Structure formats: C-alpha cells, structure tokens
Amino acid sequence: QVQLVESGGGLVQAGGSLRLSCAASGTIFPSDAMAWYRQAPGKQRELVAQYTILTGTTYADSVKGRFTISRNNAKATVYLQMNNLKPEGTGVYLCNILRGRIGYWGPGTQVTVSS
C-alpha cells in the first residue's frame, strides 16, 4: 500500500509559477510510473505529465514547454514545476503512482490561476 499526499497548490496570477510536491509513504522504485493529472470543474480528469522508465517523460500538449515532472527517489517525492500558468490550468492536481497493475492516488491539491 502506498499513500500519497500532494502539496504546493494555491492561488496564482496568470504567468506565475507553482511547484507541486507529491510525497509517498514508504519507498518508490525506479520502475514505478509517476504521473500528475488535472481535474478541472465540469471536465474529465486529464493526464498532464508522466514519467515511466520505458517512455521517459511525456506531457500534455497544453503544458509542453511550461511544466516539468521530476522525482527524487531518495525522498520518495515527485514534483511538478509549473511555469507561465494560464487560467485554464485551474483545477485539482492529483498525483498517481502505477506499480505493476496497481495505481495509487493522492487526494489532490487545488490550483487556481486568476486572469
């Protein structure tokens, strides 16, 4: 069982930056796939950024060049650096770890981008 807790969300003006963190209980392994998703009001949950050992990092087209996913295995933490935020980036950001066929989710952290 892996428990995830996201932090770092908040209110930011368009063009600003935030760094989200996702702390995992226990150990994360290099083979774990890590991802950040966004749940905007009235919309489906969408994949924002992902890292897998096979495919490396991938990003949604809407955030390419502005967001960066990274991980620190020693700290069992995954990060999402978000630069040049836009109002459409508003939503709850959720961390996901996929270990084998089992996925784990955190409760999410709210990001609100004002125009």
Tens of pLDDT along 23-65?
999 788 889 999 999 999 899 999 999 999 899 999 999 999 9
Give the 3-state secondary structure of residue 33: strand
**Rounded distance between C-alpha atoms, residue 6 and residue 107, angstroms:** 7
Helices and strands in the chain: count of H runs, count of E runs: 0, 11
pLDDT of residue 28: 84
Tens of pLDDT along 64-111?
999 999 999 889 999 999 999 999 999 999 999 999 999 999 999 999
Q: How many Cβ atoms from other residues are within 10 Å of residue 14's Cβ? A: 13
pLDDT of residue 27: 82
